[in-house]
Structure 1
């Protein structure tokens, strides 16, 4: 079963829409394209996240073969699309708000 989308993400989309652009630092993810709430279930099915990376729900891509995902606590991780596995997850931010503060607007 996929974790729930954190309320911070839902609130961000409702206020700002789906961000597409870069983060302010040289750290990951760099480029990011957020997905709408309607797109998230389809992408998770297409990628088969429940099988390859149980405990995560993907919500964005970086245009470079990696996706961003939430775990059950709401922390943000980067997962490779090729060779996806839970143990390949790289912590990007403790929560979505911490990531969103790095968006270049």
Structure 2
């Protein structure tokens, strides 16, 4: 898994307190593989495979989601990053398994969402292999 992040400029690891605080603020239990990832690198940006990705600091998830307002445009979406352009990556909280979708940030709606994985690790593998739409 670490080789995925060779060209990724990561932030320092999140603490247990940061994760717990984010979960309380967001009123959600984040997926275990996502938590495991942020405890190694708490967001950052760069290439994963040939794809540019920005992953947000777990402490910033609430603020960043308020700025993109998915509750209005795609209720149940919890964004955690972007492709650095118009595509957002997030959890579909309408499903208790929290699958991951790619969704346009401009023109955001569930009808435009595309599945990217059932787990955070599957999402990372799809990013690495370029399986994005």
Flag whether TM exceeds 0.5 (same fold).
yes
Larger Rg: 2
1:18-97 residue pairs with structure 2 within 5 A? 18-24=43-49, 30-72=51-93, 73-97=97-121
By how many angstroms is 1:13 displaced? 0.7
Q: Distance in 1 between matches of 2:66 and 2:29?
A: 15
5+ long unaligned stretches in structure 1: none
Residues of 2 paired with 1:74 and 1:61: CA distance?
A: 17
TM-score (normalised: structure 1): 0.80
RMSD in angstroms over aligned alpha carbons? 2.3
Q: Which has the higher helix share?
A: 2
Aligned length: 100
Q: How far does residue 80 in structure 1 lie from its aligned partner after superposition?
A: 0.6
